[in-house]
Amino acid sequence: MVESCISNKIYSYKHECKWPNSEAADVHSIIVRKSRSKGFLVFFSALLILANAILLFLIKDKSIAVVFWSFIWDVLIVKLLLQKPVEKESVVIMPALGVQLETHYVSGNIIRRFVPIDKILKPVLLECVTPVTCYWSLSLIVQEEAELMLVFKELHPPVKMLVPIWKALCAATGSEGSLNTFTEDGPCC
């Protein structure tokens, strides 16, 4: 049963409640949306480079190495820009048991990490600053671990999708989050 759904250009958020009649799993997923225009653009520019190289070979009598290198370059661009290894990332909250963090790859590979409920001290929403940007991330403070555990390892969903997941985690772990700050001003829209 799908309870709520928010989406933007890159990601869409889905909240499902499996077996709604019992105290069971709550699944929050962030799904990467396929962008058709980006794929089209990349393939088109790759084709352009290859066509240019072939023209140079045929008309201007450059060596076959030009075609060869431009083909290699095309493969690299396509691989880099169109490589979407992550299909979706989800958080399965099982109250009284723990939280399971899953990463589903396009290739079919699924990586799962389970954290028992009593090991989670607090889920936190933090701002991460890099040399070029600043974004929100959701992490778990885990007992006996020096580092914070990122809930979404590969993806950077917007904060309006992270807030309901954070609230659900707070409710499940029983930790009192600073809910007042967010409910008064509201997350960004």
Partner 1 sequence: MGDSKRHRILMVSDFFYPNFGGVENHIYLLSQCLLKLGHKVVVMTHAYGNRSGVRYMTGGLKVYYVPWKPFLLQNTLPTFYGTLPIIRTILIREQISLVHGHQAFSTLCHEALMHARTMGYKVVFTDHSLYGFADVGSIHMNKVLQFTLADVSQAICVSHTSKENTVLRSGLPPEKVYVIPNAVDTAMFKPAAERPSGNEITIVVISRLVYRKGADLLVEVIPEVCRMYPNVRFIVGGDGPKRVRLEEMREKHSLQDRVEMLGAVPHAQVRSVLISGHIFLNSSLTEAFCIAILEAASCGLLTVSTRVGGVPEVLPDDMIVLAEPDPTDMVQAIKKAISILPMIDPQDMHNRMKKLYDWHDVAKRTEIVYDRALKCSNQSLLERLSRYLACGAWAGKLFCLVMIIDFLLWRLLQLWKPAEDIEVVPDIVLSLDEDRGMSQDFQAFNEDHSLR
Query: Is there binding between residue 41 and partner 1 (CB under 8 A)?
Result: no
Q: Which of 141, 142, 150, 171 binds partner 1 (CB under 8 A)?
A: 141
Which of 98, 160, 164, 167 binds partner 1 (CB under 8 A)? It is: 160
Inter-residue contact 66 to 57 (CB < 8 Å): yes
Residues 98-127 that bind partner 1 (CB under 8 A): 122, 124-127
Sign of CA dihedral 178, 150, 127, 147: positive
**CB 153 to partner 1: min, Å:** 17
User: Judged by CB, which is closer to partner 1: 67, or 165?
Assistant: 165
Q: Please tell me whether residue 43 binds partner 1 under the rule CB under 8 A.
A: no
Distance, CA of 157 to CA of 31 (rounded, Å): 9
Q: In whole angstroms, how far apart are CA 154 and each of 6, 21, 22, 36, 104?
A: 19, 33, 32, 21, 10
Q: Exactly one of 1, 2, 64, 132 binds partner 1 (CB under 8 A); which one? A: 132
Nearer to partner 1, 29 or 139 (CB): 139
Q: Of 122, 103, 136, which is closest to residue 31 (Cα–Cα)?
A: 103
Of residues 163 through 182, those in contact with partner 1 by CB under 8 A are: 176-178, 180-182
What CA–CA distance (Å, rounded) separates 4 from 19?
16
Please classify residue 58 by burial: count the beta carbons closer than 10 Å to its beta carbon, then call 0-12 exposed, 13-18 middle and 19+ buried. Answer: exposed
Regarding 144 and contact with partner 1 (CB under 8 A), the answer is: no
- Return residues touching partner 1 (CB under 8 A): 9, 122, 124-134, 136, 141, 148, 158-160, 176-178, 180-182, 184-188
